[in-house]
Amino acid sequence: MKKRTAYTVDTIFVLVLFAVFAITVLFVLMSGAGVYKDTQSVMTERYQERTCLSYITAKVNHYDEAGKVYVVDVNGVQALAVDEEMGGTTYTTYIYCTDGSVKEIMVEKAASFELDDGLDIIAAKKLKFETKDNLLKVICTGETGKTAFVTLHVASGIGGGEIED
């Protein structure tokens, strides 16, 4: 009989140890899932602003030549304008925000266009440009109301509003 009791105690000890291990693994998995959910939420929330700023940064870097990057007012909406010459004709690409979306349109320089004609790039509430010397500050407010900005050095003489200190 003693032999059977020792065997039962060993079995119970192993089962209890396994149960403690399983519960610990379950808690680790649950906390990891919570961290993943929080991280995913923040990334989704900031996606619009970061994508908008990255897109504009790439455009400015591509066209960063004297006189080709500037800020203008188009029908009461602030826009970033970049000039490009193709086949002897100068075209201007305008990037602006209207109707809850950052838009882009390319037209012949000085040609008129409607703001609604632009191609939607990404959803956003507001896009603002400020300049000071050769610095261009781009401020984007996403649909969630979060705001992000980037300050770029532009070789061209840019015009527009001043950067707030």
Domain ranges of the chain: 47-153
pLDDT at 96: 96
Collect the ranges in the chain with pLDDT lower than 70.
1-7, 156-165
Global pTM value: 0.72
pLDDT at 1: 44
Q: Do 106 and 136 touch, CB atoms closer than 8 A?
A: no
Element housing 77 (H / E): strand 77-86
For residue 127, give the nearest of 147, 113, 152 by alpha carbon: 147
| pLDDT tens profile 113-128 | 999 999 999 999 999 9
